[in-house]
Structure 1
């Protein structure tokens, strides 16, 4: 299981839009999504991929890092494994 935080997304971006965006860059479907309100105008989403490990996600992450999408430059960060 691996988690990916995508920040600086446009407020109001739907789960379907996020899924379509990621699929264009070769990501598998995510299993869980949590919308994280950002400080000011920078909301984020935390995505969980049950069938990916951190190393597989590390290969995919550069595909979307600093991509300009919906009038914003997004950032993607792999979250540390919880270990519980």
Structure 2
């Protein structure tokens, strides 16, 4: 299962995203796929191959709507 994070600050690196998730969810992100777009609301898919949907829903609750790096991020379970 995966988490989708949208409205990421364009200056945020993959390491920044990993640090955010580690700090608030206590897990390492095995893989990040950046989504191309027009640059106004950058997004990334965080891949967690061994994490179930109930755990990812908990992570979503911790991160969704957070103001991070001058942006309010949106998080969804995929």
Give the structure-1-normalised TM-score.
0.84
Uncovered stretches (5+) of structure 1, i.e. residues with no partner = 80-84
Describe the superposition over 1:12-51 as per-residue Cα deviations: whole angstroms up to 9, x where unpaired: 3111100001111024112211001234510100010122
- Equivalent positions of 1:18-57 (< 5 A) are 18-57=17-56
Equivalents in 2 of 1:22, 1:38: separation in Å? 23
Uncovered stretches (5+) of structure 2, i.e. residues with no partner = none
SS in 2 for 1:33: strand
Equivalents in 2 of 1:40, 1:15: separation in Å? 16
Equivalents in 1 of 2:39, 2:25: separation in Å? 30
Q: Which residue of 2 aligns with 1:82?
A: none
1:60 offset after TM fit, Å?
1.6
Q: What's the Cα RMSD here?
A: 1.3
Give the structure-2-normalised TM-score.
0.90
Moved over 4 A (4+): none
Structure 1 or 2: more helix by fraction: 2
